[in-house]
Structure 1
Amino acid sequence: MLRGKMPSGAFRRFLSTSAIRSAKRAPKPFSLKSHNKLSENQTTPASPINDTNISTTAPARTRFAPSPTGFIHLGSLRTALYNYLLAKSTGGQFLLRLEDTDRKRLVPGAEENIYESLKWTGLNWDEGPVVGGPYGPYKQSERSGIYAKYVEQLLDSGDAYRCFCSRERLDSLSSSARKLHPPSMASYDRKCSHLSREESDDKAHNGNPFTIRLKSPSVYPEFDDILHGTLSLQTQVNYSDIRYDDPVLVKSDGLPTYHFANVIDDYLMKITHVIRGEEWLASTPKHMALYTALGWKAPKFIHIPLLTSLSDKKLSKRSGDRGILSMGDSGILPEALVNFVALFGWSPPRESVGVTISELFTLQDLVEKFNLDGLTKGNAKVDDKKLMFFNSHYFRERLADKTKLNSIVQECHSMQMELVKNQQADLDTSVLSEEYTAKVLEAFGTKNLTSVQDFVNRSSYFYIQPWQSDTAVKALKELQADTYAKDISAEFLRLLDQENLPDSWAESICKEITSSNKWTKKQIFSVLRYTLAGGVSGVTIPKIMTILGPNVTKLRATEALSKL
């Protein structure tokens, strides 16, 4: 749950009273007024404030600024990762900031999910909630007094104004703007911008509800994007019915909007580079207008491409974009996920043309190799096959690393014990220890598994009876159609009934039954694999028998013969 609470009442009283007029007024080196009064013949937009010197060698201060209105997914993890890599590769700082002013849409547990997702993937922040820092608070809900200061500055300069229009009037304006030919994406008529400051203060003091709007320029200035170059993005208008694109900076409940708080926080927290999704390109002109109005230099912007499915459909939380921690619960390793996500719109540098390079990168590898020059403009397709390739690689590495093997064994064993609780087991549960699971893992070997979940799915027959799986049902149908299956099963059971089985009983029985000229090895092992594992492949028959032990092996042979 979110712990921060916006003291919106105090913020609103500060905005509403005439104390604003008597407060000390900040100097204003830049203003939007000149842009708002462009003559009809003036068509050249003002120059952007941010410079065009693209440098990634100086220490970068970047931020990841999620809203706790949902859990961290692939798209937001990529944004966090690229900001982290840029900061760390240049010796800078990576900040975490919670943009939590949309109080109605907050999701319980989302804040904790943000922290846990970043920590799980190794993206530890240098400044932000929990760890603190010199530019806090790092939750927007705790920064209301900071925002109020800059609202005052914009009202004083005339770059912002109070809007007292009702919701019904605004909805009507929006509806009529859409019906124009061509439709206007700007809808407001600036009725309230003509109020004098005294009239506006009096109405606010008398309790009339209002929002604060930015007086946007007639033509938005160009801005530079490191990935896309110089851009001029203008709002579509209908020149026979002029409307204005004056974004709301402060809502009627006294809380700042994303646009307003985002710009102020990035500036005050000394953010040098903003890496975010392409969907925010349309908002950047508004942000540049705010930087201009406040007289500030903007950070460098990098808008990265969309994530899409293999069929080129945009991923979303409702379509294909999965929660990060839920992926971990399904057996995906954090190092595999980071490697996978890093390649969504970035490619590593090549030493020479035509030379193939490995795509396997640890987080530290990525820090050493990451550079903005490697970013790509095209949409990034999410291919789960590549994720499983990475996961298999890192899972094998963990299995081969004795320092990490115990944790994998514990996780595998825990998940299998949950399975045993809900299924009929034919083993004495007292033998189902972590040591037992370690033997099963060793039997599979490092080349046959891709994840913990893969192990759980493919090794269940070591823990429960194998007869109910789809694989077992299919195998039984095929074997019942063959006359040899019952004879092989009976012979297998006869060999198991021998007294005084040797120490190497499993290998001895397999060798004896396969020495018969009655059946092929393929026929024999198809029956034995059904008998012991429900037809699931992956571990040799002698190893399965040895781990199960002679008693359980005999029980399964008896049951299989009855089914056949």
Structure 2
Amino acid sequence: MSTPVRVRFAPSPTGPLHIGGVRTALFNYLFAKGKNGKFILRIEDTDQNRYVEGAEDYIIESLNWCGITIDEGPREGGDKGPYRQSERKEIYRKYAEMLVEKGHAYYAFDTAEELDTRRQEAESLGNTFIYNWYNRDHLNNSLGMDQETLKGKLENSDNYVIRFKAPKDETLVLKDRIRGEITIDTNILDDKVLFKSDGMPTYHLANIVDDHLMEISHVIRGEEWLPSLALHVLLYRSFGWQAPEFAHLPLILKPAGKGKLSKRDGDKLGFPVFPLEWKDPKDGTVSAGYREEGYFPEAVVNFLALLGWNPGDEREIFGMEELCDVFTLEKVNKSGARFDPDKIKWFNHHYLQQASVSELVDRFQKVLKSNRIEVSDDFAEKVIVLIRERADFVGDFLELGGFFFETPQTYDEKAARKQWKEDTNRYINEIGDLLAGLPEFSSEISESVVKQWITDNELGFGKVMPPLRLALVGEMKGPHIFDIMGVIGQEETVARLRRAVEVLG
């Protein structure tokens, strides 16, 4: 019987969730759901000095916005909890001491000053100080102490850390689902700190213990954790536990392709690097988020899924369910994935075109109200239908179609000089009279009547249509001119023509 698939996303609440973290969560979620597994959220908040108020709420809200549903977590509960490491503190001491008893770890009492002296001595000889097999027997730790001395130090509450005793002269062969086999010489490893006398574990111990107790089957995490893989595999071995399968995702690179995309790059490069807007509780600075910038969550998910993974063909558009069906770790790339701000806009354009008109109306009405514009849903829908093809964001609707909501107060000077001739006033006035007298008014009726008038007067369309557009829009832009008339209505159409004659004539 195969082991049930259980994966975890384990962020630290030290600030907003970076878009790279969202991708890690997404890949975990897709892998789990494709195998009918569980997606667990664990908050790794043991470092209380770096804890940021509101960060946990932000992480959960970000995942929810992206459609990444949590099966077990701090709020969802589950039988493997608690799901915050700060609520699991009492667990870790037992396991740290277990490693000491097994001979795989030891108490170290070296002070910061003692270690600094060792580093300086090594540097003076052109070497690098590493706390490991090479020197650990000669340092201030329990390996060279008799039991009575050790007992006295512990009873006296001397400050200590528990260090892992990395093996000597061993070649480790590690397996990674994305990168294949990785060979490590244990002689280059240092004896990492696992536990401190203040009762707090380090990341390495807490991470391994929690993954084991939560029965995590696959650890899918960022490439930056590759250097820790050897230690983590050794810890599993030392405890006598079955290690999960590991997969290390490629870095997300800056748009230029050089260097990891960082949390600071958003402000520098002019695009969001966070899923939601973040307001720093310390200094009040605000960082842009994809939600507030008008992106659809489906666009963000689709874009992130293809950052370092591909389905093996030319397809680019995937919904969440389809991604769950086709995602495999074997098709995740080893090399870094370049972040392309233009590509995510392309995805947003696609999902905007696919969105229902009712959803777009709801979103657009919020934009209009924030600009103190009040129109009916029916009016907003008519505008959207005419301009959505040219829009990447709902916010573009107002920029593309602002003239629907306000009579032009100015007219493009270059266009006016080119299009408004001596006889244009007469043409526009006559068309205004013609349209004002129509008993029924619509795009189709106005188009038929105006085109027939142009034909009857033996005029070229180029003499009439451009100034007509300028009168209604104020610029030489916009959708079909008679569709504009149909939306703004008979009275407003005629009023705009009269005003243009008055101003431009």
Shorter-chain TM-score bucket reads 0.7 to 0.9
Q: Distance in 2 between matches of 1:180 and 1:481?
A: 81
1:208 and 2:158 are equivalent in the alignment? yes
1:228 and 2:179 are equivalent in the alignment? yes
Q: Distance in 1 between matches of 2:337 and 2:459?
A: 57
1:153 and 2:105 are equivalent in the alignment? no
Amino acid at match of 1:132: G
Q: Distance in 1 between matches of 2:427 and 2:147?
A: 99
Q: Distance in 2 between matches of 1:416 and 1:285?
A: 56
CA RMSD after TM alignment:
3.2
SS in 2 for 1:328: coil
1:479 and 2:427 are equivalent in the alignment? no
Displacement after TM superposition at 1:202 (Å): 3.1
Which of 187, 192, 212 aligns to 2:140? It is 192
| Partner residue in 1 for 2:285 | none
SS in 1 for 2:168: coil
Q: Distance in 2 between matches of 1:302 and 1:394?
A: 31
Displacement after TM superposition at 1:358 (Å): 2.5
Q: Distance in 1 between matches of 2:168 and 2:339?
A: 40
SS in 1 for 2:372: helix
Amino acid at match of 1:324: P
Alpha-carbon displacement from aligned partner over 1:356-395 (angstroms, at most 9, x marks no partner): 5422211111111122222221221222333233323322
| Partner residue in 1 for 2:244 | 299
Amino acid at match of 2:275: I
Amino acid at match of 1:540: H
1:63-462 pair list within 5 angstroms: 63-174=8-119, 181=126, 183=128, 190=136, 191-193=139-141, 194-218=144-168, 221-233=172-184, 245-251=190-196, 253-313=198-258, 314-320=260-266, 322-325=273-276, 326-349=289-312, 357-399=314-356, 405-420=357-372, 429=374, 432-444=375-387, 447-462=389-404
Q: Distance in 2 between matches of 1:175 and 1:556?
A: 81
Give the conservation status (yes or no) of the 8 Å contact 2:428–2:497.
Answer: yes
Amino acid at match of 2:405: Y
Provide closer, same or farther for how the CA distance between residues 200 and 551 of structure 1 changes in structure 2, counting only shifts above 3 A: farther
Q: Distance in 2 between matches of 1:284 and 1:481?
A: 71
Q: Which moved more, 1:504-513 or 1:306-315?
A: 504-513
Give the conservation status (yes or no) of the 8 Å contact 1:291–1:298.
Answer: yes
Displacement after TM superposition at 1:99 (Å): 0.9
Give the conservation status (yes or no) of the 8 Å contact 1:59–1:87.
Answer: no
Alpha-carbon displacement from aligned partner over 1:37-56 (angstroms, at most 9, x marks no partner): xxxxxxxxxxxxxxxxxx9x
Give the conservation status (yes or no) of the 8 Å contact 2:177–2:330.
Answer: no
SS in 1 for 2:68: coil
Amino acid at match of 2:221: R
Displacement after TM superposition at 1:559 (Å): 5.7
Q: Distance in 2 between matches of 1:477 and 1:164?
A: 80
Q: Distance in 1 between matches of 2:56 and 2:466?
A: 52
Amino acid at match of 1:203: K
Alpha-carbon displacement from aligned partner over 1:94-153 (angstroms, at most 9, x marks no partner): 111111112122222221121112122221122122111111111111101111210221
- Stretches of structure 1 that go unaligned for 5 or more consecutive residues are 1-54, 238-243, 350-355, 400-404, 422-428
Relative contact order higher in (CA < 8 Å, ≥ 6 apart): 1
1:548 and 2:488 are equivalent in the alignment? yes
The number of residue pairs the alignment matches comes to: 475
Displacement after TM superposition at 1:217 (Å): 2.5
Provide closer, same or farther for how the CA distance between residues 513 and 293 of structure 1 changes in structure 2, counting only shifts above 3 A: farther
Displacement after TM superposition at 1:279 (Å): 1.1
Task: Calculate the TM-score normalised by the size of structure 1.
Answer: 0.75
Give the conservation status (yes or no) of the 8 Å contact 1:62–1:87.
Answer: yes
Provide closer, same or farther for how the CA distance between residues 250 and 461 of structure 1 changes in structure 2, counting only shifts above 3 A: farther
Task: Calculate the TM-score normalised by the size of structure 2.
Answer: 0.83
Alpha-carbon displacement from aligned partner over 1:250-302 (angstroms, at most 9, x marks no partner): 24643222111111111111111111111110111121222222222211111
Identity fraction in percent? 38
Give the conservation status (yes or no) of the 8 Å contact 2:122–2:129.
Answer: yes
